[in-house]
């Protein structure tokens, strides 16, 4: 047998450990300065033999005394079950191997085909008007041919110079189904004149500006249904300039520049008003 002692808070517990499970001869707890320590030697082979044997621990009475004094060693865990052997199931399956050494991008065998959706009916294109400009030199005797060309090609905007229309012309003579007609005719002499046919699906208004009598011209404001964010509307100026008179040409250029400046200023004023400036 061997005599052991344990130091706990300056108290010493002395006792006898009996290998053959016999009751201990003495078990007491005394202050360190009042106890005597006795030691005895035990061969290491005996201690190793105890390690391999099971059921040779202390008697239950001795264990109860140790536990009641709070000096028993804590039980050692299994570290989350790291020493527990588990059977891991393995699923065996056949996997097709595709060898493609020339492929540098994504592996197409890992991709899923996504069906395409026809968005033609969902996303509408911008509604810029198609334009047709001509000088028929009198539309009075060509109105049937002109009407056929416009309807067959479905033009949105048709600008005519030298229409030769009269102010007292019958409305049904020059009208085209689905179009609004805007025109300016000569008052005192024949010839000349300008006219514009605009599709009725566009909101169109005449721009009221001062136009010199010497100039055959007028302005229109067109608002299609769908335009880019940067384009709010379309301004159209229909003009017929018959001769090379420098004074009339200068008057015409000044009128165009002044009108564009006025329209630009009006656009800025409306923008500032919407911004609260």
Q: Tell me whether residue 79 is in a domain.
A: no
Residue 21, domain extent? 2-68
Q: Tell me whether residue 81 is in a domain.
A: no
Of 45, 44, 33, 201, whose CA–CA distance to 130 is shortest?
Answer: 201
Same domain? 58 vs 140? no
Domain boundary among 68, 85, 106: 68
pTM: 0.53
pLDDT of residue 3 exceeding 50, the answer is no
Q: Tell me whether residue 37 is in a domain.
A: yes
Looking up tokens 């009916």 gives 121
Quote the CA–CA distance of 159 and 181 in Å, as a whole number: 10
Q: Tell me whether residue 108 is in a domain.
A: no
Average pLDDT for 7-17: 43
User: Where do runs of H (alpha helix) occur along the chain?
Assistant: 44-52, 60-68, 143-153, 171-174, 246-275
Q: Tell me whether residue 206 is in a domain.
A: yes
Same domain? 135 vs 264? yes
Same domain? 251 vs 160? yes
Same domain? 170 vs 261? yes
Same domain? 50 vs 173? no
131: confidence class by pLDDT, cuts 50, 70, 90 = very high
Q: Tell me whether residue 102 is in a domain.
A: no
Tokens of 221: 């404001």
The CA-CA-CA angle for residues 252, 139, 238, to 5°, reads: 25
Domain boundary among 49, 68, 87: 68
Q: Tell me whether residue 76 is in a domain.
A: no
Same domain? 136 vs 232? yes
130, 157 contact by CB (below 8 A): yes
Domain boundary among 43, 68, 93: 68
Same domain? 44 vs 141? no
pLDDT in tens, 153-210: 999 999 999 999 887 877 778 899 999 999 998 877 888 899 999 999 999 999 988 9
Quote the CA–CA distance of 153 and 118 in Å, as a whole number: 27
Q: List the CATH number of the domain containing 256.
A: 3.60.10.10
Counted domains in the chain: 2
């Amino acid at each position: 047998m061997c005599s052991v002692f344990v130091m706990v808070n300056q108290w010493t517990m002395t006792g006898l450990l009996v290998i053959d499970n016999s009751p201990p001869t003495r078990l007491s707890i005394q202050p360190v300065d009042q106890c005597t320590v006795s030691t005895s030697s035990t061969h290491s082979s005996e201690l190793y033999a105890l390690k391999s044997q099971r059921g040779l621990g202390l008697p239950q009475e001795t264990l109860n005394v140790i536990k009641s004094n709070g000096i028993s060693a804590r039980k050692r865990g299994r570290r989350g079950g790291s020493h527990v052997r588990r059977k891991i199931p393995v699923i065996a399956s056949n996997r097709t191997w595709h060898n493609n050494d020339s492929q540098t991008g994504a592996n197409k065998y890992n991709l899923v085909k996504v069906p395409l959706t026809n968005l033609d009916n969902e996303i509408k294109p911008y509604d810029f008007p198609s334009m047709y400009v001509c000088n028929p030199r009198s539309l009075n005797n060509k109105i049937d041919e002109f009407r056929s060309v416009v309807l067959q090609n479905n033009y949105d905007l048709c600008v005519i110079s030298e229409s030769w229309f009269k102010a007292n012309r019958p409305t049904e003579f020059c009208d085209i189904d689905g179009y609004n007609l805007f025109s300016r005719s000569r008052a005192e002499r024949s010839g000349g004149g300008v006219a514009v046919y605009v599709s009725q699906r566009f909101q169109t208004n005449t721009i009221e500006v001062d136009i010199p009598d010497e100039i055959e011209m007028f302005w229109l404001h067109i608002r299609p249904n769908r335009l880019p964010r940067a384009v709010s509307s379309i301004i159209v100026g229909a003009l017929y300039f018959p001769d090379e008179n420098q004074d009339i040409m200068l008057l015409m250029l000044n009128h165009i520049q002044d009108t564009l400046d006025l329209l630009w200023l009006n656009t800025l004023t409306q923008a500032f008003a919407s911004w609260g400036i």
